[in-house]
Structure 1
Amino acid sequence: WVDAPNLASRILSMTQKRIAHDWMHCYQYAPVLIETFVETPRFPGTCYKAANWTWLGTTKGVGRLGNSHKPTLPQKNIWVYPLKKRFRQILCSNVQ
């Protein structure tokens, strides 16, 4: 009953345009790169691929707080999207 072509891509686009402003307003800091984790057994991440996000790889399934170093969580694909054209220079400028 609702026809909304390319809805996921539209929502991602609106989010990408707004997130730097929102972060500057709340945290006095503007991100230059955004990331998301997509649970691979449940979702293929097609909307991120269609919206020109870059796939970096897959997690091992070990959480930050896991002590066993064995996969206990589902694997997730890591997708990133640059908000600034010079994001590499900006991110690497503080490296000593």
Structure 2
Amino acid sequence: MVLIVDVAADRARWIGWTAQARRENVPRVVNNSRFLIFPHVRVPHLASHVLGQLARRARADWLEHWGFEPLLLETFVDPRHYAGTCYRAAGWQLLGATSGRGLARPGQSYHSTPRQVWVQPLTSDCRDRLCAAPGSPRS
């Protein structure tokens, strides 16, 4: 069992989640865990263009492949190495930072450094829908 320990308290506050709404709706938050454009690729604005396409296609692609629509994209950027410029240029929103505590596993501890939390809503009402109870008209 893996417990997420304060991975993104700023995200949870921004959404307005209760503990139950988070448990029920966290699968609708898609994490962009890896994004790499090799340094030898020199195409102006490529990163923000790709991120914009991702945001436009994610809902339909996930619905077709997995059978549900994600409502929010998120990513975590290490500010020691990156500024998050491509996310800002693609219209993502910087919410704050993680605590740097990382994942907690029974009998183990894992420490990381704080990461910036960036999000991209996929619908205009994503926060309402992420806070809705399962089976309600808003979910």
Normalised to the residue count of structure 1, the TM-score between the two structures is 0.83
1:93 paired residue number: 132
After TM superposition, give the deviation of residue 2 of structure 1 in Å.
Answer: 6.1
Structure 2: unaligned runs, 5 residues or longer:
1-39, 135-139
Say if 1:40 and 1:74, in contact at 8 Å, map to a contact too. no
Distance 1:75 1:2, change over 3 A: closer
Report 1:1-96 matches (<5 A).
Answer: 3-65=42-104, 72-94=111-133
Partners of 2:83 and 2:133 in 1: how far apart? 35
Q: Name the CA distance, whole Å, in 2 between partners of 1:45 and 1:2.
A: 18
TM-superposed CA distance for 1:72, in Å, is: 2.4
**SS of 1:84 mapped into structure 2:** coil
Name the structure, 1 or 2, with higher relative contact order (CA <8 Å, separation 6+).
2
Name the SS for the 1:65 alignment partner: strand
* Percent identity of paired positions between Structure 1 and Structure 2: 38
- 1:56 aligns to what SS in structure 2? strand
RMSD over aligned Cα, in angstroms?
2.1
Query: Partner amino acid for 1:24?
Result: L
Q: Within 1, Cα distance between the matches of 2:92 and 2:41?
A: 26
- Alignment CA distance shift 1:72-1:18 (3 Å): same
Moved more, 86-95 or 21-30: 86-95
Deviation at 1:74, TM superposition (A): 2.1
Deviation at 1:78, TM superposition (A): 0.4
